Structure 1
Amino acid sequence: MDVLLLVSGNDDPEKRKQQHANVIDAARVAGVGKVVYTSIIGPVQDSNFSPIVKSNRHTEEYLKNSGLTWSIGRNGIYLEPDLEYLDHYRKDGKITNSAGDGRCAYTTRAELADAYARILTEDQHNGQIYNLTGPAITQYELADLMNEVFDTHLHYEPMSVEAYRQQRINELGDFMGTVIAGIYQGIRNGDMDGALRLSKSHG
């Protein structure tokens, strides 16, 4: 195998660190030439989402220090879950979450597939870290775009961070509910706007 795409795991953030390290170690032993890692945008700071960001940064550093050729993509927030939730939004007549006026740099899985195909196969991306996002928009703008594309009549109604967190936990369980609430808290705090489109490691 010449090139390997390491997609970040879905386990507890602390467990992911060792799981990802195991893959990188195995790639090195097997003589893989290049590893590309799917990370995530966002700063490391205290929030409900920070353990996931921290575990991704840990893997980034482990990969950069592995001796392997590497590239890293930091994915934006996927747009598809909002589209899959469209019938629910349509029924309620609104989008509700705790993002407030924050801006989110969404991306789509199809766009990411194209980006990673290029990163995997083109050597000029070696040693690069990319923020793979689209233009940053507010939830108000998201509602307007959905209305335009799907002929809906939605508006955005902000919630408090704690109220939304409890709503997500009630529907999705403690772990996933906290993660989803943390994403929207990050949007509210300006952490998901996709700033710094491209950076190159000097480590």
Structure 2
Amino acid sequence: MERILVTGATGHLGSAIITTLLKRISASRISVITRQPDKLADFESKGYKAFLGSYDNIKVLEKAMKGVDTVLLISSGDQGDRMQEHKNVIDAAKKTGVQRIAYTSRSLRERSSLANQLMEEHFQTEDYIKACGMAYTLFRNILYMDTIPQFIGGNLALEHGIYLPAGDGAVAFALRSEIGEAMANVLLAKDTENKIYNFTGNRSYTFYDIASALSELSGNTVNYSNVEENEFKVMMKQRNVPEPVIEKIVNFITDIKHNQEADVYPDMETSLGRKPVSLKEGLRILFGF
């Protein structure tokens, strides 16, 4: 009986994946790793095989992976040494005889011209996985539609408009919950081939499109202003956003401007068995219209 280990199980993506897994397999066939003691007890009470630990705790990783067929490595945050954390998980999987490792990467057009170098670590992780010798499934996920409110300033954008240096760059946004569902469907399919899936929406959208959709949904006129990068940085400083955070945001937006996330693939629709949620439908959910 196949067992799947989901790392980062308490996050939004991990929760969406587990929700779909439970429709087809029992909790007893799902192992999870969590950093939160209260969540550990909750998982155990529901029948999961749960472990308290992090990507830095190699003993816990190895213990959690014993008897596991597939490990889903949900990418770590960028606060620590992300590459070393990823290597710890991959090495533990190989050492304990895991048959397949899956990884949540990013769907980006061109590795060599990325402005956001944090994204390069996703490709480095892919390279490490391919070199480890285990079977692999790589999920290259598009930027979550769920991040749009953060980028545009939430409900304030409905009153004051959208100000970003993104030009007419487009993103094939998809809801995080649907990406998680599509990933779970692939994991349950037990495909033995090494595969890369690009999970994107069915079309790409600019911030002009986002402004137009919000105008229709809210009944207010929402405009998108393509501001200069320096002007945007000044706006962020006036809001007391820390300099490192500003640089991170600008790099994300620069890649959007250069259409790094504009490519559309059929993989998500195929894995879901239906069309992904459109921009307008997604914004209605996210803003509660």
Same fold judged by TM-score > 0.5? yes
In structure 2, the gaps of 5 or more residues are 1-67, 268-289
1:116 corresponding residue in structure 2: 183
Q: 1-side partners of 2:180 and 2:130: how far apart?
A: 22
1:201 corresponding residue in structure 2: none
* Match 1:189 to one of 251, 258, 261: 258
2:242 corresponding residue in structure 1: 173
Tell me the TM-score normalised to structure 2 length: 0.61
- Structure possessing the higher radius of gyration over alpha carbons: 2
Question: Alpha-carbon deviations, 1:144-174, whole Å to 9, x = none?
Answer: 1122234332111001123334544664423
Report the CA distance shift for 1:5/1:98 in structure 2 as closer, same or farther (over 3 A): same
Tell me the TM-score normalised to structure 1 length: 0.85
Q: How many residues align?
A: 195
Q: Secondary structure at the match of 2:102?
A: strand
Check conservation: 1:28, 1:68, Cα contact below 8 A: yes
1:80 corresponding residue in structure 2: 146
2:221 corresponding residue in structure 1: 153
**Residue pairs, 1:56-75, within 5 angstroms:** 56-75=122-141
Task: Please identify which structure carries the higher strand content.
Answer: 1
Higher relative contact order (CA 8 A, sep 6+): 1
Question: Alpha-carbon deviations, 1:87-125, whole Å to 9, x = none?
Answer: 121231x11111111111111111111111022221337
Q: 2-side partners of 1:107 and 1:128: how far apart?
A: 20
Report the CA distance shift for 1:168/1:197 in structure 2 as closer, same or farther (over 3 A): farther
Question: Alpha-carbon deviations, 1:8-65, whole Å to 9, x = none?
Answer: 111258x21121111100111122221111111222235541x122111000011111
1:20 corresponding residue in structure 2: 86
Q: Secondary structure at the match of 1:103?
A: coil
Identity fraction in percent:
26
In structure 1, the gaps of 5 or more residues are 199-203
* Match 1:137 to one of 205, 211, 214: 205
